[in-house]
Amino acid sequence: MISDLFTMTVFVGILASGIRLATPYLFAAIGETIGQKSGVLNLGVEGIMLLGAFASFYVTFTTNNLGLGLLAAIIVGAVLGLMVAFVNVTLKAEQGISGIGFYLFGLGISELLFQITMGTVETVSGFPPIYIPILSDLPVVGDILFRHNLLVYTAFFLVPVSWFLLNKTTLGLKIRAVGENPEAADTMGVSVTGIRYFTCILGGVFSGVAGASLSIALLNVFQQNLTSGQGFIAVALVYFGGWRPFGVLIGSLIFSLVNALQLWVQIKSLPIPSDIAIMMPYVLTILALVIAVQRVRPPSALAKPFERGG
Amino acid sequence: MQAIFNKYPRLWRVFNLLLPFLATLAALAVGAVMLILLGENPLAAYSALMEGALGSTNALADTLVKATPLLLVAVGICIAFRGGVLNIGGEGQLVVGALASTVVGLAFPDAAGVVVIPLALLCGFLAGAVWGAIPGLLKAYFNVNEILSTIMMNAIAVQGMNYLLRAPLIDPVQLESASRIPQTARLAIAFDLPRLIPTRLHLGTGLAILAAILVYIFLWRTVIGYRIRAVGLNPHASRYAGINVPRYIVLALLLSGAFAGLAGAVQVYGLHHRMFTDGSATGFTGSAGFNGIVVALFGNLHPLGAIPASFLFGALLVGANKLQRVMQVPSAFIIGLNGLVVVFVVSSEYFKRRWAVRRETETIEKVPIACEAEEMT
């Protein structure tokens, strides 16, 4: 029975949707990687994603302009990133707890605004797929890799870009220095606070776009708790990926493929309860963390506020 | 401020105690701005809040009922914090505790209450302990960050709850009806926790206060409690003192989960008398698993401090519900406001440290968080 269902078309379909579904994970986890590299743990990614998803959806819905929608997610993400930076860096709050606060804030306020402004679930026409010339005509590979929308390509493009930023630029060196040894970086004249504000805002923007990728590119709807834990999984993916963009890429793909499979299972109504199927990514996250953390060490100053002369 | 507090150390202590209130007030002020933006009158809103929380015997009783799970979770959070670990998994632990206790009640519908109630509470306690021990073991022996693993355990618990309440445990009546609301049958009335006065106030509140006192004695008057605190303050020194550090990390998270699990059992037997779900954790828990963390911070991470802190936070939540009903603001407003309170309270710790009186006897105890157990194992 399983073999009947699992034809070549299904196989291609699952892989292609796996690539697509990696998009929110990639945006959020790459942003979080850069933030954690500088020593800031932002656990509020989920909340920022929700607000970004709502903002971009609402603006797109009312103006019918995808560019403005994306801009809205970027602005919302940047503002929230600034708030995260103020709380975690300037006020030196316990980052594990403040993140939960930001999550609840985003969860509640996105739902509140949704109910006030719209009330019912609507749809928009999101970013259309762009067929890459020639490549998209390739058999199998073309379907899987080269028929996606702009945000999907951007997310994958971010992986080498962020790798380059972190490892080959002066700014990247400063980010890593601030995350490994803020005292030394401070002595060398690097502004620990400045760098961390920068990475928090950048991470906020990426989280906001991650939300937008769900609401105006992949699902094209907004509803309560649209992100359903993907922001938290993205934070875990940073650990899983060993704080390396390409590690995050591998983790994101594993998770998005599991998601694609799980959606397929739900559609095919195989004899697996959907609640149990939804549970699987979380179980997988824990197992993945057990395997992953044996290999790599987190940035030394992760989640530790910097105290000059302290 | 520093100079003033140095001159008047007593003023500092008052400020120290008042700080979480000030933070909450600040969060409410931001909430008021949001209400204005929504076109509501914030003064009317917040007077509804006060009245809803403290205005009548019923309101007071509701506040205490709301405070009960918060206090139990907070007491557990105190143990975890003192042991140097951060337990974000209260939501999941509460859910599994509630589920386990519900199963006990459903399994023995004809047994006597005096037998079933203690057994159910015990099972809730144990289920929460298991749910807390898993991240504890992962932290102590596999070096898995407990913040992440407890968040994942929350999600797993919620999905498990949704599954159980939609299929195996669903109320037979709901199974017949078209709506199929995912909830269990009402537990036998004989299993209701005794009510204290003719309100919704139940014995669970007393139990929670007792738990807070016992945990205080445990942490500060027993060897095991001492070791948990030692590991939290300095895992390196503890190891050289011969303490098995990983074991006490597990114990801290296990106990922390156990009290959250007990909170879940108390919610079922004292308040709801059944288990239900709206698909999210919040539907059943009311975010008590997260709010317990805030209550613990309010109470300076001391089990006895958590008693008044939970009352205040319970009042805030009951009042906020009233506000939402009177003003007809969507209930999502409360979740968002709740998040603001968390952010403001945890941020206010900054002023505690910044203006701490620099005298040996007056320095606040440095709270051990996020210990570097990776170097210990």
CA dihedral B166, B169, B173, B174 (to 10 degrees): -10
Q: How far apart are CA B243 and CA B250, in angstroms?
A: 13
Q: What is the DSSP string of B312-331?
A: HHHHHHHHHHHHHHHHT--T
pLDDT tens per residue, range A188-232: 999 999 999 999 999 999 999 999 999 999 999 998 889 888 999
Q: Which residues, 6+ apart, have CB-to-CB distance to B327 below 8 Å?
A: B35, B40, B44, B45, B48
Give B152's contacts in chain A (Cβ within 8 Å).
Answer: 232, 236, 282-283, 285-286
- Alpha helices of chain A — where are they, by DSSP H? 2-5, 8-37, 45-63, 66-85, 95-117, 141-145, 150-168, 170-180, 182-187, 192-213, 230-240, 245-268, 274-292
Residue B240 has a pLDDT of: 93
CA gap B144, B89 in Å, rounded: 14
Separation in Å, CA of B113 to nearest CA in chain A: 33
Q: Which of B87, B145, B371 best tests the A interface by mutation, with the highest count of A CBs <10 A?
A: B145
DSSP SS3 for B370: coil
Q: Which residues of A touch B156 (CB under 8 A)?
A: 279, 282-283
Please determine, for residue A273, whether its predicted confidence score (pLDDT) is greater than 90.
Answer: no
- A residues 186-215 near B, CB within 8 Å? none
CA distance A290 to B369: 22
Nearest chain A CA: its distance from B46 CA (Å): 18
Three-state DSSP class for B374?
Answer: helix
- To the nearest whole Å, the CA of B159 is away from the closest chain A CA by 5
Q: How is residue B364 written in tokens? A: 């606040």
Closest C-alpha to A46, from B151, B73, B163: B151
Cα distances from A132 to residues A14, A24, A158, B352, in angstroms, run 20, 21, 18, 57
**What does pTM read for this prediction?**
0.88
Whether residues A239 and B145 touch (CB distance < 8 A) is answered with yes
Q: Are B116 and B191 in contact (CB under 8 A)?
A: yes
Written as tens digits, the pLDDT of chain B (377 aa) is: 777 777 777 787 788 778 888 898 899 889 888 888 888 888 888 788 888 888 888 888 989 999 999 999 999 999 999 999 999 999 999 999 999 999 999 999 888 889 999 999 999 999 999 999 999 999 999 989 898 899 899 999 999 999 999 888 888 888 888 778 889 989 988 898 888 777 788 899 999 999 999 999 999 999 999 999 999 999 999 999 999 999 999 999 999 999 999 999 999 999 999 999 988 888 899 889 989 998 998 888 899 999 999 998 898 888 888 887 888 888 788 889 889 998 998 998 888 877 776 554 444 455 555 444 444 43
For B88, the closest of A100, A278, A286 (CB atoms) is: A100
**Dihedral sign from CA coordinates of B172, B174, B177, B180:** negative
- The per-residue pLDDT for B139 is 94
Task: Mutate one of A110, A274, A282 to test the B interface: name it (highest B CB count within 10 A).
Answer: A282
Where in chain A are the domains? 22-122+147-292
**Cα separation of A132 and A148, whole Å?**
9
C-alpha span between A269 and B184 (Å, rounded): 25
Q: β-strand A129-131 against A147-149: which pairing, if any?
A: antiparallel
Looking at the DSSP assignment, which residues form a beta bridge with residue A148? Answer: A130
Tokens representing residue A91 in the block: 């006020």
Structure tokens at B45: 């809103």
Interface contact flag, B338 A275, Cβ < 8 Å = no
Report the alpha-carbon distance of residue B3 to residue A123 in Å, rounded. 59
Q: What is the per-residue pLDDT for B365?
A: 52
Q: How far is CA B354 from CA A243, B172, B357, in A?
A: 32, 58, 9
Closest alpha carbon to A223 in A154, A120, A98, A81:
A120
- What's phi and psi for A149, nearest 5 deg? -90, 175
CB nearest A235 (choices: B148, B159, B353):
B148
Handedness of CA A46, A48, A53, A54 (dihedral sign): positive
* Cα separation, A79 vs A76, whole angstroms: 5
DSSP B206-227: HHHHHHHHHHHHHHHHSHHHHH
A64-81 mean pLDDT: 97
Mutation site for A-interface testing, chosen from B91, B328, B347 by largest number of A Cβ within 10 Å: B347
Fold of A22-122+147-292: ABC transporter involved in vitamin B12 uptake, BtuC (1.10.3470)
